Amino acid sequence: MIESLKNIFKIPELRNRILFTLGMLAIYRLGSHIPTPGVDARALTDFFDQNRGTWFGFVDMFSGGNLSRVTVFALGIMPYISASIILQLLTVVWPYLEKLSKEGELGRKKITQYTRYGTVLLAVIQSGGIAVFLQNTELTGGLTLVANPGLPFTLMTVLTLTAGTVFIMWLGEQITERGIGNGMSLLIFAGIVVNFPAGIITTLSNVSTGQQSVFQIILLAAFMVAVVGFIVHVERAQRRIPVQYAKRVVGRKMYQGQSTHLPLKVNTGGVIPVIFASSIIALPQTVASMFPNSIWMTNIAQQLAWGMPLYTLLYVTAIVFFCYFYTAIIFNPDDVADNMRKFGGYVPGIRPGKRTAEYIDTILTRLTFGGAIYLAAVSVLPEWMIAGFRVAPIPLIGPFLDGILPNWITEGLGVTFYFGGTSLLIIVGVAMDTVQQIESQLIMRHYDGFMKRGRIRGRRG
């Protein structure tokens, strides 16, 4: 490991890319401390303490705490992510975008340009909504979030937050082009990781004051290591379908037949299904917070709180649904089978064309189910450590289960800092992708990489 780190700084281009990436991330964190004018910071902190489990808390996690402080980067990268997802969905149903996606580099640049326009439009809409919401929200005790509400405050907030979002988008594109790794993913990664040191300090403080035992901390650390190892194992897992290419003649050249494979990842959708599911489940609580005097809205919000049976059931169901939905968008077995047939490829024992597409689709369906269960487990288990599984509200058998189950199941382990499955999946996934890109750069220049015993190994020439 130490030798691999030394090798990084022996390559001027790789060293410059890494230093450039770190510099851009530092600028991103610097902007996270510039507040938006006109907002009462203390009242805002109280408001977000009351709404941690809602959509506001979910977006605040992706913005690195910028939303809870309403800094110039309050919207974070979420408008860009939303615009990208919308463009991906439109690519399936809009022939014009589908044609652009197949035109190579020129088409991708055009789609990227549309994504930027969509990001600005969504940023204007969301920042306007935030401005109106801040002005109309009144906390208990008569406190208001905005000292001087009105049209000037609305225009200032829209301009500030939209400009901040555009600047973040530019930072991400610069990191992708001139740095190392995917810029947008690294910005989300930085926003989540920055909150971990404070959580660790809080946990150690609780140990010193006796609020948590050393045994609980050891159990938490062991669980984190096990979950991270499990995520790494599944994210790298593939089902390889053997593919045989026959001999073919192109011009005056004859290409020999070869055996290869079609890799299908267990988790094809990545973390996107979890993000979709979290957004939808948190939406009713957000709406309920806007109508504090509505009894039935308050009851719905209580049933969808962390650890409640209805929340867990809907959350897992939504993750499974979006795994299949998103996989169907980004992977088309018919196109894969047609491309294989055009280049003389076939799966041994399977007829080319429709039969091959059905065979790939069957395997992909089974893999997606396994990936959905994996995402649901990683997402729900950490939340159990925070809030537990409150089984008492379950009809008929709830009180009986609550009486026989131990407290560490129904009330959790009392973990005080955020250890959500969504954040963990993003952190591990982005870290793996970044390390793999650094690994590729090292191996390309004949240096040993990080994966000494892995599938990819580098050798000095």
pLDDT in tens, 284-298: 666 665 565 667 766
| Per-residue pLDDT, 460 | 39
Specify the range with the lowest mean pLDDT, choosing from 219-228, 350-359, 438-447: 438-447
The amino acid at residue 228 is: V
pTM: 0.74
Q: Do domains 1-195 and 211-417 have the same CATH topology?
A: yes
pLDDT in tens, 184-193: 888 888 878 8
Listed ranges 147-156, 355-364, 418-427; the one with the highest mean pLDDT = 355-364
| Per-residue pLDDT, 455 | 45
Which residues make beta-bridge pairs with 253?
A: 250
DSSP state of 390: -
Opening angle at CA 169, ends 428 and 331, nearest 5: 55
pLDDT category of residue 339 using cuts at 50, 70 and 90: confident
Q: How far is residue 380's CA from residue 386's CA, in Å, rounded to a whole number?
A: 10
What homologous superfamily is domain 211-417 in, according to CATH? SecY subunit domain (1.10.3370.10)
Q: Is the pLDDT of residue 424 over 60?
A: yes
| Per-residue pLDDT, 458 | 38
| Per-residue pLDDT, 281 | 76
Q: Is 215 helix (H, G, I), strand (E, B) or coil?
A: helix
| Per-residue pLDDT, 459 | 37
The DSSP H or E segment spanning 209 is helix 196-209
| Per-residue pLDDT, 129 | 80
Mean pLDDT of the chain: 78
Q: How far is residue 290's CA from residue 337's CA, in Å, rounded to a whole number?
A: 50
pLDDT in tens, 79-93: 888 788 788 778 877
Q: How far is residue 251's CA from residue 288's CA, in Å, rounded to a whole number?
A: 68
For the chain, the domains span: 1-195, 211-417
Opening angle at CA 67, ends 125 and 326, nearest 5: 65
| Per CATH, domain 1-195 is 1.10.3370.10 | yes
DSSP state of 64: T
Q: Is the pLDDT of residue 58 over 70?
A: no
| Per-residue pLDDT, 85 | 76
| Per-residue pLDDT, 257 | 63
